[in-house]
Amino acid sequence: MAKLAHIDSFIVDLPTIRPHILAMATMHAQSMVLLRLTDSDGIEGIGEGTTIGGLSYGEESPEGIKLAIDTYITPLLQGQDLSRVGAVMARIGKHVAGNHIAKCAVETALLDMQGKRLGVPVSELIGGGRRREAFPVAWTLASGDTARDIEEAEAMLEARRHAIFKLKIGKRSVKADVAHVAAIKRALGDRASVRVDVNQGWSEAQADRGMALLQDAGVDLVEQPIAKLNVAAMARLSAKHVIPLMADEALHGPLEAFDIAARAGARIYAVKIAQSGGLLPAHAVGMIADAAGIGLYGGTMLEGTVGTAASAHVFATFPDLEWGTELFGPLLLTDDIVTRPLIYADFQLQVPTAPGIGVAFDEDKLAAFRRDATKTQHGSAALQGA
């Protein structure tokens, strides 16, 4: 029986390579909650819980994620057999409501530990194993400056790193946003797929107009144009327009996935392990979408390498990944906190093949970027007699 011997949760703050402008916030750095579990056999598992823009994107903040892990989830891990990941997560789910990102960090660490224990990648522990070794990755153009975004996209195409581009819009008028997007699509032509993410920034009337104009501009999809709770309006927009609507913020696990599918609220799902509450619930979201004939896209909360690697393992198991992924989070950061970065080449991300999630912390980088002054004591607990 593999019991918890030690747990350490901490926040790291990594600057972004440029301002990342969304409808609800402008990011200059990413704050990630990282987790390290060690069991009674000496096996270590690592995880990550990351949100976007503090509390501007969702109900969880980096500080709240850490608090939930330290105060409420850690006691539930004590005395449990950590090799029984499903049972442990069910126990946590029974006693901790919501807090999907905190749960995702813990489940990632448990699955990383289990993969290492068995000597297999995490993708082999999910849904019958991986179906692909690599997949396309989109790059988000979020400077808000048309000429700069075109230049950035051209550089990505030249480097053969990305041929899918998503634009963050919703802060300006619909007319101004569409003009910005249309200019970029004209410049890139058929060399790249161009998509937009409104991050709930439009009313239904604005979305109705914007989706029609974006379709005429040659845009391939529109992500979460309206408020996440307004599934009825999402269904009306999906039924009316040829350009597909992709659900993102509206998805918070299998229950929402089923509800949106039943109400025909979206034709594509952006699956995120953090929003879903972990890798296993994210896989369930993907299976619901697949059964309902809804297209799949691998989403991101702009995680660092740990969360991105974990996401890659889940998306590698999906039966179909028609719309690619958005796992560019580590590339948006000025530095990394792992010993060996993920491999991006020929417009794709390669899924790690080492046991567990396939990445390991760089201890020197952690020491440099950890937020807490004590570096080793705050948020860390050694468990005796567990």
Cite the active site residues.
Answer: 168
Rounded-to-integer distance, Cα 216 and Cα 14, Å: 39
DSSP 376: S
Residue 32 per-residue DSSP state: E
Outline where DSSP puts E strands in 256-340. 268-271, 295-298
DSSP calls for 296-354: EEE--S---HHHHHHHHHHHTT-S--TT-B---GGGGBS--SBSSPPPEETTEEEPP-S
**CA dist list (Å): 314 to 11, 102, 103, 120, 179:** 24, 18, 16, 14, 36
Q: Where are the alpha helices (DSSP H) in 61-162?
A: 62-67, 74-77, 85-95, 100-118, 146-158
CA dist 318 and 130 (Å) reads 8
- Taking the C-alpha atoms of residue 13 and residue 50, their distance in angstroms, rounded to an integer, is 11
Which secondary structure element, helix H or strand E, spans residue 315, and what is its range?
A: helix 305-315
Q: Count CA atoms within 13 Å of residue 179 on its CB side.
A: 6
